Structure 1
Amino acid sequence: MTTSLKSEGAQSIARAALLLRTLSTFGSQGAALMQISMLTQLPKATVHRILSAMLDEHLVERPWGTRNYRLGPEVYALGMSVLDVFDVKTIAQPSFDRLAQTTGEAVYLGIRCGYDAVCLDKRQGHLPQNAEILQVNDRWPMGIGSFSLAILAYLPDEEIADIVAFNSLRSGADKAFSKITSGIQKTRKNGYALTKTRSSRGISGIAVPIFDRRGYPIASLCTVSTLDRMKGSYLSGLAAALNHEAQIMSAQYEMARTNPSQAETWRTAIKDPQTPRIAF
């Protein structure tokens, strides 16, 4: 969240990106100007000025009947234009099928979204559905849950510091965030993130990162089982299976990025003699 050392133009872009990431944590309900200012630690006047500019560009909108701000339709449209390049969910399907079949456990796919991790997909395992906490499209602060900790732990230290600071401020005095630093260290040492739910659910999650060619974590694969199963050789076997599929996904992800499939169909519609001419 530090922007003081950037040039004026770069600082404006960094602040706009910070506001977009902050708004993403609030989802469709949006957030009030005061909330955004408090979390970003930017003056209200600065936040209002940047949000007003992004309103004009439809990057941000104000839900009808409220004074809140939320991400706008242009953000969705921009994302759709590179769906074939970053479509981790489609890439993950074969790995999901293999892991679900060989382990019998619940399998999850997570990606980073600003200061959160989002559950993109899951396969139901042998656990009762009401025993599982994480569901598709759920957003959890980075570092909470193995699926997000596996991504957070392998980010650059400066990014980790920003994320932890933001989420600590956002959560108030929640004790969960006081343990994130030790969780990051354990994850880096073990090569996987492991979390346990010591409640009536009695479940445990193990997750590994999926890297791009630079070694930057772009997603995570996670399996969830009971506490009594998640130990010893069984735990080691799950970690090995997850890492194997994560490596396959990394290679497929890079292939999709270098060989995008999306075509400019409008060019064909105009130039192809077999296609009816479009009248203007």
Structure 2
Amino acid sequence: MDAASTATGGVPRVFALIRALVAVPAEGGRVTQLARAAGLTQGATHRLVQSLLAEGMVEQDGRSKRYRLSVDFLALAARAGNPGDLRSLCRPVLLRLCASLGDSIFLLVRSGFDAVCLDRSEGAFPIRSFTGDIGGRVALGVGQGALAILAFLPEAEREEVIRFNLPRVREYGVYDEVCLRTGIERVRQLGHADRNTGLLEGMAGVAVPICDREGRAVAALSVGTVVERLNADRMPTVVQLLKREAAALGPRINPFDATLRRPAQGLSGA
């Protein structure tokens, strides 16, 4: 689009078209449909679509010939709104929670069928955890953080993980399918995981999922401490703090953050 067309109203028309593209179904929209939604003529809509197609901001389905916003456009928008990676975004939260509670705080992120410890802030009490130090991993479903992530995956993904991980979690000797599914349902009802299986003697923990804009769990905030510090009186306060921080983080997560697909990439410089 040249400077003259921009000066005569090209920019408002482009944004009218973009808004129309946002509103079309996942399979995309035809020029006639987009023209009606944007309040433009078919000729003007076609020219604008072709310009956006040339810039890589729009893509066309090869079979249906329908148009939709491209992944490049969505990635550009995500980067503009979310300049930090997940670890950088969560680091102040970990430090704040650790200072407030005095306990160790963990950031876990999903990696396939596992949860990986992306970051941690050490509290005043020496503890052991399922993931250990930064970079450690554990099967989804084992430990509070990994269970919180598993419980809030979309149902189809959750079922796939359960089928794959059942042989792995059974190795701990206290898990079976009924136990795992009961634990998942409890987490979904409460919004947090606080199950203490006794696998790590004297240790206790509680975790909440960090969900993206679609409600999909991509990570978890977890507290690890000694049993005496997570009694019935203190637990509600800890859960409230975790949920408040997780709820604030969720809308700020960049869905195109490479850390969500390749957690090891977010461990550099750890």
- TM-score tier, shorter chain, comes to 0.5 to 0.7
Residue 198 of structure 1: how far off its partner (Å)? 2.3
3-state DSSP class of the match of 1:155?
Answer: coil
3-state DSSP class of the match of 2:165?
Answer: helix
CA, structure 1 residues 109+180, in 2 after alignment: closer, same or farther (shift >3 Å)? same
Q: State the TM-score, normalizing by the size of structure 2.
A: 0.59
3-state DSSP class of the match of 1:225?
Answer: strand
2:91 is aligned with 1:98: no
Structure-2 residue corresponding to 1:176: 175
Q: Distance in 1 between matches of 2:226 and 2:167?
A: 32
Structure-2 residue corresponding to 1:213: 213
3-state DSSP class of the match of 1:209?
Answer: strand
1:124-147: CA deviations, max 9, x gaps? 112215x44432111100000111
Structure-1 residue corresponding to 2:160: 162
Q: Residue 210 of structure 2 contacts residue 221 of structure 2 at CA under 8 Å; is this kept in 1?
A: yes
CA, structure 1 residues 126+165, in 2 after alignment: closer, same or farther (shift >3 Å)? same
Provide the aligned C-alpha RMSD in A: 2.4
Structure-2 residue corresponding to 1:191: 191
* Sequence identity percentage: 29
3-state DSSP class of the match of 1:218?
Answer: strand
* Amino acid aligned to 2:166: S
- Larger relative contact order (CA 8 Å, sep ≥ 6): 2
1:240-259: CA deviations, max 9, x gaps? 000111112113225997xx
Q: Distance in 1 between matches of 2:123 and 2:169?
A: 31
Q: 1:114 aligns with which of 112, 115, 122?
A: 112
Structure-2 residue corresponding to 1:143: 141
Structure-2 residue corresponding to 1:204: 204
CA, structure 1 residues 248+161, in 2 after alignment: closer, same or farther (shift >3 Å)? same
3-state DSSP class of the match of 1:126?
Answer: coil
* Amino acid aligned to 2:175: A
Q: Residue 141 of structure 2 contacts residue 169 of structure 2 at CA under 8 Å; is this kept in 1?
A: no
Residue 161 of structure 1: how far off its partner (Å)? 1.2
Aligned residue pairs: how many?
174
Q: Which runs of 4+ in 1 moved over 3 A?
A: 169-175, 254-257
Q: Residue 150 of structure 1 contacts residue 209 of structure 1 at CA under 8 Å; is this kept in 2?
A: yes
CA, structure 1 residues 100+170, in 2 after alignment: closer, same or farther (shift >3 Å)? closer
Residue 85 of structure 1: how far off its partner (Å)? 6.6
Structure-1 residue corresponding to 2:6: none
Q: Residue 112 of structure 1 contacts residue 151 of structure 1 at CA under 8 Å; is this kept in 2?
A: yes
Q: Distance in 2 between matches of 1:112 and 1:86?
A: 18
CA, structure 1 residues 159+94, in 2 after alignment: closer, same or farther (shift >3 Å)? same
